[in-house]
């Protein structure tokens, strides 16, 4: 069921760009054969592939600003600033010479920065050789598909993976509209169902929130939130009532919806954009400054929304956390051992921490 282009389709929402094949999953040097068979003259001539570490983001250090640097030869002539202002995601394709040159989409950089040359200043042995690139993103927004999405011009048209009538560019990159992005991610999700990082990314990616459950019915969600915003306490009470008896995935969607609403913004402000976990551990909030000069911070529901305890959507069940601790709370070794009127007590990685509840009504 691929989504058709509609009036709400956003043009140039993503980019599809190619890189040279790397037999070590783009997390180490390419093989001799990779270098020899590359269709890029630069790679053949110099025996060097800047994109060698594109998906080594879990292995190699980020730069001081928190970004991880990657590369695509197609950006050596950078995308036009005006045409690329909506771009939220850059997918990489590569052709596997050992597999009849099958072209696949191997992963992406979400919320990327590009348009200039970036130098790696962090220290790593391999950074002496792979010292720069032309795109960067935060490692949590860089996703590698263990099971890549096969693409060719026929598949692209059938599944609406490229704008209508467009062919995969041989000399440059392709712009994708939001429907194309949606469809590519949908295919990637169905092929990589246990990739929690991909699911987590999709949950926070504009227009894609609905994709993480295959059987999830968009209509249910829309009918629940239709006349409601998540901007006031009354709204949230309303949502809590409507949520009763819904499927867990719907509850999760509603919780994500609230985590992005105005209440959530208010909470972030009240807690002064600090991560409660970082604070309880006695460290500075591990985050970055957004374009609007606010510190980037997320909100988390302590009691999972799927439990539908009363008050699960209320502010006293929310805490503000940095992106890293937010992921740890969901996927790490964390135990909530006390949930009293005044505070939460967690055991995180064997350490006991006490977090005061936000005193607001």
Q: What does the binding site for Zn ion look like in residue numbers (CB under 5 A)?
A: 275, 277-278, 300, 322, 325
**42 CB contacts (<8 Å, ≥6 apart)?**
48, 73
Residue 332 DSSP class:
S
Give whichever of 251 and 325 is closer to Zn ion, judged by the CB atom.
325
Least distance in angstroms from the C-beta of 50 to Zn ion: 33
Provide DSSP, 39-68.
S-HHHHHHT--GGGGTT-TTTSPPPTTS-E
Q: Residue 177 and residue 15: Cα distance in Å, rounded? A: 9
Least distance in angstroms from the C-beta of 256 to Zn ion: 8
Where would I find the H helices in 117-177? 153-158
Give whichever of 57 and 325 is closer to Zn ion, judged by the CB atom.
325
Least distance in angstroms from the C-beta of 275 to Zn ion: 3
Least distance in angstroms from the C-beta of 31 to Zn ion: 39
Token pair for 170: 């041989």
**Alpha-carbon distances of 181 from 160, 280, 291, 340, rounded to whole Å:** 9, 39, 24, 44
Least distance in angstroms from the C-beta of 304 to Zn ion: 9
Give whichever of 247 and 286 is closer to Zn ion, judged by the CB atom.
286
H or E, element range at 243: helix 233-243
Give whichever of 62 and 168 is closer to Zn ion, judged by the CB atom.
62
- The answer to whether 309 and 301 are in contact (CB under 8 A) is no
Give whichever of 187 and 322 is closer to Zn ion, judged by the CB atom.
322
């Amino acid at each position: 069921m691929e989504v058709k282009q509609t009036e709400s389709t956003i043009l140039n929402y993503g980019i599809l760009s190619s890189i040279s094949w790397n037999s070590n999953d783009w997390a180490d040097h390419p093989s001799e054969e990779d270098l020899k068979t590359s269709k890029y003259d630069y790679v053949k001539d110099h025996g060097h592939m800047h994109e060698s570490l594109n998906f080594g983001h879990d292995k190699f250090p980020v730069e001081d600003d928190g970004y991880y640097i990657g590369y695509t030869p197609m950006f050596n002539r950078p995308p036009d600033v005006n045409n690329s202002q909506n771009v939220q995601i850059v997918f990489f394709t590569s052709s596997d010479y050992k597999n009849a040159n099958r072209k696949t989409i191997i992963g992406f950089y979400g919320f990327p920065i590009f348009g200039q040359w970036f130098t790696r200043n962090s220290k790593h042995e391999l950074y002496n050789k792979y010292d720069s690139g032309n795109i960067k993103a935060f490692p949590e927004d860089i996703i590698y598909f263990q099971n890549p999405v096969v693409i060719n011009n026929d598949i692209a048209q059938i599944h609406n993976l490229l704008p209508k009538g467009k062919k995969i560019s041989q000399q440059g990159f392709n712009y994708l509209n939001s429907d194309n992005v949606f469809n590519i991610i949908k295919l990637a999700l169905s092929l990589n169902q246990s990739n929690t990082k991909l699911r987590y990314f999709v949950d926070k990616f504009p227009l894609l929130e609905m994709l993480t459950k295959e059987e999830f019915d968009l209509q249910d969600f829309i009918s629940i939130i239709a006349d409601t915003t998540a901007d006031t306490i009354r709204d949230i009470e309303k949502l809590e009532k409507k949520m009763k008896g819904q499927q867990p995935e719907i509850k999760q969607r509603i919780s994500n919806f609230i985590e992005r609403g105005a209440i959530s913004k208010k909470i972030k402000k009240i807690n002064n954009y600090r991560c409660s976990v970082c604070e309880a551990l006695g460290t500075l909030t591990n985050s970055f400054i957004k374009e609007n000069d606010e510190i980037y911070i997320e909100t988390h529901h302590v009691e999972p929304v799927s439990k539908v305890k009363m008050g699960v959507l209320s502010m006293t069940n929310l805490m503000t956390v940095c992106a890293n601790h937010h992921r740890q709370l969901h996927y790490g070794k964390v135990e909530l051992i006390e949930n009293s009127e005044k505070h939460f007590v967690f055991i995180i990685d064997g350490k006991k921490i006490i977090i005061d509840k936000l005193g607001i009504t």
